[in-house]
Amino acid sequence: MPETWDAITQQEEQDLTNLMSEYDFAIKDAERFVDMLQQSLTDLDVANVETVMASEKGAVQLMNMLDKAVDEISKIDDRLGLYEKKLSTVADAVKIMSRKDSLIQIETANVHKLTDALENLLGVQDFSDEDVQLLQNSDLTNDNDRAACIQVANLLTQAVGVQLQPGMEKMAAIKQRRELLEQTQRSFSLRCRNFLSSKFVFHAEGYGEHFELGGNELPRHGEKITRPLLPFSPLCQWLKVSSPGYFKEVCQAYVSQIRPIYAKEIHGFFESARLGVTKGAIAMPERRAAGSVSTLNTIRRDRQSVQTQAMSGVVDNDPFSLKNSTREFRTRSDKIFDRVLGQISPIVREEQLFCVNFFYSADEETIAGENASESTTGTENFRSSGLKHILAELLEPLDSEIKALIGHVKNVDSFTVLYLFVRMNEHTIAVQNYGSFLKDLFAGNLILLKREVDGYVSEVCKDINDYRPSRNKRVGILPFVNYFAEFSDEAEMIFDKSSRAVDLHRAYKTLVGAIFRGIEQCAAGMANDPKTPHSMIRLENYHQMQHIMGIKKLTALDAEKQEARKSYNAAKAEYEREYCGFPFERLHLFFERVDELRKRLAKDEDVQFQSDCSIIELRRLVREHPPKEVKRGLESLYKKIEKHLSENSSLMQVIWHDIQTLVIGEYERMTKLIEICYPNSNIHLEFTVDNLLSFFTETAHPSH
């Protein structure tokens, strides 16, 4: 194994350098230097031994002192053991004292809690005999007595509702007191129920002797029913908390007394509205008292009389005319419907606010009359199904009467449902913040009217599909095309600025689609009719539809307008091709043969050498078509077109202009063919372009 060497440190290197510098011969005589070092080491060992021998006495003294120190340490250790034994006894005593103190604190806390619970229980259930007598014998119609009763009743409710500690209910005194308080609460609850029910009967009977029937406005109940009852609302609200069963009976008692009043008023009001729809404004001869049979009989007689007059004065029902009833009737119906809905909203809101204040809250200022806030928070939060149920039972006839009024208007004139639909939509939007009952009432009838509008459009589409024009009779503009002009004109006025314009656009598309199909069906059905060619039916009616959609700027029907234009152009081309020949028909056919020969022959001039297209034949045909003959042909063509078209149709000018263009174009074509195929023949047509223009003008002039 190789021998390892440790490198000397810098300090060791410095010391070695200093030592060798003292002996400058060390480098030259190493043995001498080693001997000197060995001698120095021996001298140091001798000095150390001498020093140790000299300090022996001190070492003995040191050993003695160490022995004494060990003895003292033993004494201290014994004393520490004694102290430890005494301290262990003290620790046990301290633990015992600590446990006793904790138990004392728990016991003290329990005593305090028990004392507080007993004091609270006795304080809450400390219900004096005077309080019991007050609840039993006070005058609830007196404001002061009633306020005192409410205060005591609230204390009674707190006493009955207090939560007892487990086991306390077994204490005889507490059990007896509890039974007394519950009996007192039941007794006062029964008294409140009977008192409130009697007040409902009193005010209902008092109001029933004065309410007016058959008027144009729904009466308000504020002065005679709701305001007199409102001071008693704390009793009802106390019942709601303390006796839910009696509270429900109070609600039922209110509904049973007030609902008949609403039923009579609503029925009379809508009877008046239905009469107004047919007759106009109702001038009641006098206002009779409730229960007046003569008043109801008068309304019924007036309604029967008006219906009889209406039936006798109405023209035969035309499914494609809005003139079965006048626009005045429709606007009157719209105004009456608007007035009816305007009367319903405040009545429902007034009753709603009363129910909220009387049955469900204690804020008496929220029903301050007609100027009450329209966005009362209590009214907005219809979270109680009970409150909505009360309104539904009280105002149950409203929904059926609104539907009956809609049905009455529809039976007279089904188109008027468009007016009612837009009007109902406006009122539905207006009552969005008036509570769920009114919102649901209007929204439900809005859905009904939307279905009525869709049903009306579907019925019209069915009538269009079933319509067939009479044969052997000039058709002209189909009645459902004229109907669309009337429909769109009035519908645009009805839906102007309405948020339901999208429904109108949907109806437009449905109707226009049905009209296009109807035009095609009618044209197909008249294919062989001598009076009106099928292409003329399509031509006139597509032109009219294009005109209607364009002049009324029905932007929702842009695609349908393009379709009508395409169908119109196709029908016009077909009609002109089939029925609008040339006033020089034989010349036209001659030059058609010339064109065919040009395609087969090498040279155009060779045409004149063919027997059926010879110069002689051409001269004969030219002589047969003098200006008078051409003019006579134009007049005959004009009369034929005039017979096909409906009276005063603007299409005559359009078709006549197209024929003029075609005739002049044919004239120019024939002149050119004469120059090409019959050169140097000196053949010319006997009529000119100026002659033709003059003939067209003279022929069309009598129609202007």
Spatial contact of 431 and 438, defined as CB atoms under 8 Å apart: yes
Contact between residue 586 and residue 625 where contact means Cβ atoms under 8 Å apart: yes
pLDDT at 298 over 50: no
Instruction: Kindly tell me if the per-residue pLDDT of 438 is higher than 80.
Output: yes
Res 638 pLDDT > 80: yes
| Number of Cβ within a 10 Å radius of residue 452 | 21
Query: 352 pLDDT exceeds 60?
Result: yes
The string over 150-178, giving b where at least 16 C-beta atoms fall within 10 Å of a residue's C-beta and e elsewhere, is bebbeebbebbeeeeeeeeeeeeebeebb
* pTM (predicted TM-score): 0.68
Asked if residues 605 and 683 have their Cβ atoms less than 8 Å apart, the reply is no
When mean pLDDT is compared over 47-61, 269-283, 583-597, the highest value belongs to 583-597
Give the tens place of pLDDT for each residue, 536-562.
Answer: 888 888 888 888 888 878 888 889 989
Reading the block at residue 188, the tokens are: 């006062």
pLDDT score recorded for residue 276: 85
Q: What is the pLDDT of residues 330-342, one digit of tens each?
A: 889 999 999 999 9
Structural contact between residues 232 and 361, judged by C-beta atoms closer than 8 angstroms: no
User: What distance lies between CA 690 and its chain's CA centroid?
Assistant: 69
pLDDT of 297 strictly over 60: no
Query: Does the pLDDT of residue 589 top 60, yes or no?
Result: yes
For residue 625, the 8-state DSSP code is: -
CA distance between the termini of the chain? 142
Contact 213, 288 (CB under 8 A): yes
pLDDT score for 172: 64
Reference 579, options 664, 624, 641; nearest CA is 641
**Which amino acid, 259?**
R
Is residue 2 over pLDDT 60? no
pLDDT tens track for 232-284: 888 888 888 888 888 889 888 888 888 888 888 888 888 888 888 877 433 33
The residue with greater pLDDT, 230 or 290, is 230
Rounded to an integer, what distance in angstroms lies between the CA atom of residue 174 and that of residue 558?
Answer: 86
Give tens-digit pLDDT for 448-506: 999 999 999 999 999 999 888 877 677 788 889 888 988 988 888 989 888 888 999 99
The per-residue pLDDT for 15 is 74
Q: Is the pLDDT confidence value at 591 over 80?
A: yes
For 26-35, the pLDDT digits (tens) are 566 777 777 8
Instruction: Tell me the two tokens of residue 351.
Output: 């009753």
What does the pLDDT read at residue 446? 93
* pLDDT given at position 307: 47
Residues 135 and 153: their CA atoms lie apart, in Å, by 7
From 335, 371, 340, 339, select the one nearest 353 (Cα to Cα). Answer: 371
Query: What is the spatial distance between Cα 583 and Cα 692, in angstroms, rounded to a whole number?
Result: 10
Q: How confident is the model at residue 3 (pLDDT cuts 50, 70, 90)?
A: low
* 555 vs 563: CA distance, rounded Å: 14
What is the mean predicted confidence (pLDDT) over 303-315? 43
* Average pLDDT of the chain to the nearest whole number: 78
Contacts of 460 (CB under 8 A, 6+ apart): 319, 320, 480, 483, 511, 514
CA atoms of 685 and 485, how far apart (whole Å): 48
- Beta carbons within 10 angstroms of residue 597's beta carbon: 17
Pick the residue with more confidence: 306 or 131?
A: 131
pLDDT in tens, 69-128: 888 888 888 888 887 777 777 777 777 877 777 788 888 888 777 776 666 655 555 566
- What number of helices (H) and strands (E) belong to the chain? 25, 0
* CA Rg value for the chain: 59
Higher pLDDT, 443 or 435: 443
What is the predicted pLDDT for the residue at 362?
38
Of 16-25, 60-69, 526-535, highest mean pLDDT: 60-69
Write out the DSSP string of 308-331: HHHHHHSPPP-TT-STTS-HHHHH
- CA torsion 529-533-537-538 (nearest 10°) is 130
Amino acid letter, residue 35: D
Give the pLDDT mean for 285-289: 35
3-state DSSP of 290-309:
CCCHHHHHHHHHHHHHHHHH
Query: How is 547-607 classified by DSSP, letter by letter?
Result: HHHHHTT-GGGHHHHHHHHHHHHHHHHHHHHHH---TTHHHHHHHHHHHHHHHHSSSGGGG
Q: Please tell me the least confidently modeled range out of 113-122, 208-217, 438-447, 512-521.
A: 208-217
Residue 518 to residue 469: CA distance in whole angstroms: 11
Q: Which amino acid is at 556?
A: A
Q: What percent of the chain has pLDDT over 70?
A: 80
Cα 631 to Cα 653: distance, rounded to the nearest angstrom = 18
Say what the pLDDT of residue 171 is: 63
Does residue 68 surpass a pLDDT of 60?
yes
605-608-611 Cα angle (round to 5): 145
